[in-house]
Amino acid sequence: MSDSPPVIRLCGAGRRFGTHEALSELDLTVHAGEKVAVLGTSGAGKSTLLALLNGSLEPTTGSLEVFGANPARLTAGQRRLLQRRIGSVSQDLALIEQVRVVHNVNAGRLGRWGTTRALASLVWPHSLDVVRDALEQVDLGWALYERTERLSGGERQRVAIARLLVQEPELVVADEPVSSLDPVRAARVLGLLGASPTVRTLIVSLHQPALARAHCTRVVGLREGRIVLDVPAAEATDEALRDLYELV
Ligand SMILES: Nc1ncnc2c1ncn2[C@@H]1O[C@H](COP(=O)(O)OP(=O)(O)OP(=O)(O)O)[C@@H](O)[C@H]1O
In short, whether 59's Cβ falls inside 6 Å of ligand 1 is no
* Residue 100: DSSP 8-state: B
Distances (CA, A) of 11 to 35, 60, 62, 65, 82: 20, 12, 6, 9, 20
| 225 neighbors 22 (Cβ within 8 angstroms) | yes
pLDDT (0 to 100) of residue 123: 66
Among 168, 201, 208, smallest CA distance to 184 is for 208
What's the gap in Å between 9 CA and the centre of ligand 1?
21
pTM score of the predicted model: 0.91
Backbone angles phi, psi at 243, to 5 degrees: -65, -35
What's the gap in Å between 221 CA and the centre of ligand 1?
15
Q: Mutate which of 26, 48, 244 to test ligand 1's pocket (most atoms within 8 Å of Cβ)? A: 48
Among 174, 227, 180, smallest CA distance to 205 is for 174
| 134 neighbors 168 (Cβ within 8 angstroms) | no
| 54 neighbors 235 (Cβ within 8 angstroms) | no
In short, whether 45's Cβ falls inside 6 Å of ligand 1 is yes
pLDDT (0 to 100) of residue 2: 57
pLDDT (0 to 100) of residue 121: 67
In short, whether 15's Cβ falls inside 6 Å of ligand 1 is no
What's the gap in Å between 44 CA and the centre of ligand 1?
7
| 209 neighbors 201 (Cβ within 8 angstroms) | no
Distance between CA atoms of residues 33 and 194, nearest Å:
10
Q: What number of other Cβ atoms are within 10 A of residue 68's Cβ? A: 10
pLDDT (0 to 100) of residue 87: 92
Backbone angles phi, psi at 193, to 5 degrees: -65, -40
How many angstroms from the chain centroid is the CA of residue 227? Answer: 19
Please, what is the Cα angle at 31 between 137 and 54, to 5 degrees?
65
Q: Mutate which of 16, 46, 179, 227 to test ligand 1's pocket (most atoms within 8 Å of Cβ)? A: 46
Distance between CA atoms of residues 3 and 125, nearest Å:
40
pLDDT (0 to 100) of residue 242: 86
- ipTM of predicted assembly, 2 dp: 0.97
How many angstroms from the chain centroid is the CA of residue 59? Answer: 18
Q: Mutate which of 16, 19, 20, 226 to test ligand 1's pocket (most atoms within 8 Å of Cβ)? A: 20
What's the gap in Å between 225 CA and the centre of ligand 1?
9
Indicate the CATH number for domain 8-245. Answer: 3.40.50.300
16 DSSP β-pair partners: 21
Distances (CA, A) of 125 to 34, 119, 150: 34, 9, 20
| 188 neighbors 182 (Cβ within 8 angstroms) | no
248 residues of the chain, pLDDT tens digit each? 556 789 999 999 999 999 999 999 999 999 999 999 999 999 999 999 999 999 889 999 999 999 999 999 999 989 988 988 999 998 888 898 999 999 999 988 877 766 776 666 676 777 789 999 999 999 999 999 999 999 999 999 999 999 999 998 999 999 999 999 999 999 999 988 887 777 789 999 999 999 999 999 999 999 999 999 999 999 999 888 888 888 65
pLDDT (0 to 100) of residue 125: 74
Distances (CA, A) of 109 to 46, 79, 129, 237, 242: 27, 16, 13, 39, 41
Domain residue ranges in the chain: 8-245
pLDDT (0 to 100) of residue 163: 93
Given strand 8-17, what is the order of strands in its sheet? 20-30, 8-17, 61-66
In short, whether 51's Cβ falls inside 6 Å of ligand 1 is no
In short, whether 221's Cβ falls inside 6 Å of ligand 1 is no
